[in-house]
Structure 1
């Protein structure tokens, strides 16, 4: 009887030990905080950019699984009529220069085409870490004529 109790105790102890040490590999999703989004030359944060100028973007990123890529997409909201080469102005760019970093401040200035139509645009900021986890943050951006 004592051998049976001892054997059960050993099995339960081993099961507890292996379960407690098991690494489930779950990392927190990347954290994104849009700090500034606006006209490039003034580093404003009014979510407005001038057509033919630049949009200033500053975003804090924390990625426990280390950054792989940062993608920015700006696309129109509503009906814009200005088209060049058969399409509306939009931006879709991916950065890899932050790859391998856990924490960084993304600070870039992106050109707004001089043929873009004034109006409301949607700004998407997407971070994918080296583990494949992905987070996004978005904001509205208004393009205005100077």
Structure 2
């Protein structure tokens, strides 16, 4: 009987230790970003075609999960550095933006959905799109995509 009690005690102690370690690991889990959509969504275009047009907006949607609750979502869009090598279309300007969203602060799960305006004079070309989630412990996850800004649609 003593051996059975010792075995049960050791088994319970090990179970508690393993469970405690698992919880600690979960607290250090980075936020998750899934189902990211990036696209113009205009005039029959796909909402997930990674294209945009000057003077219009771009649709951005994603599912976000943060075990430690969301602090903020940051979107940055900037031109590829080598994309035009000094030749710029007349009347256009280099464009970049960084937008920080606190709308989802404190949530574990969020269905992110925003539209970002593209200036009318944004230079067409290749851009980088960065979607970053920061949780309340400062852990981050970032998804990067290529984005094409095309000449105005007629």
Above 0.5 in TM-score? Answer: yes
Query: Aligned pair in 2 of structure 1 residues 62, 110: CA closer, same or farther (>3 Å)?
Result: same
Residue pair 1:34, 1:137 contacting (<8 A) in 2 also:
no
Structure 2 partner of 1:93 = 99
Cα deviations by residue, 1:25-53 (Å, 9 ceiling, x for unpaired)? 73311001243110044562110011110
**Equivalent residue for 1:35?**
36
Could you tell me which residue of structure 2 aligns to residue 58 of structure 1? 61
Q: What SS class does the counterpart of residue 107 from structure 1 fall into?
A: strand
Q: Which runs of 4+ in 1 moved over 2 A?
A: 19-27, 40-43, 78-83
Shift of 1:111: 0.2
Q: Which of the two has higher C-alpha Rg?
A: 1
Q: Which of the numbers 62, 66, 70 marks the counterpart of 1:67?
A: 70
**CA deviation vs aligned residue, 1:55-108 (integer Å, no higher than 9, x gap):** 00011101111000100000001334559xxx7210101011100000011100
CA distance in 1, matches of 2:68, 2:41: 31
**Quick one: structure 1 residues 82 and 94, their matched pair in 2 at CA, closer, same or farther if it must change by over 3 Å?**
farther
Q: Deviations over 1:111-130 (max 9, x none)?
A: 00111110110000000000
Instruction: Spell out the pairing of 1:112-123 with structure 2 (5 A cutoff).
Output: 112-123=118-129
Which structure 2 segments of 5+ residues have no match? 1-9
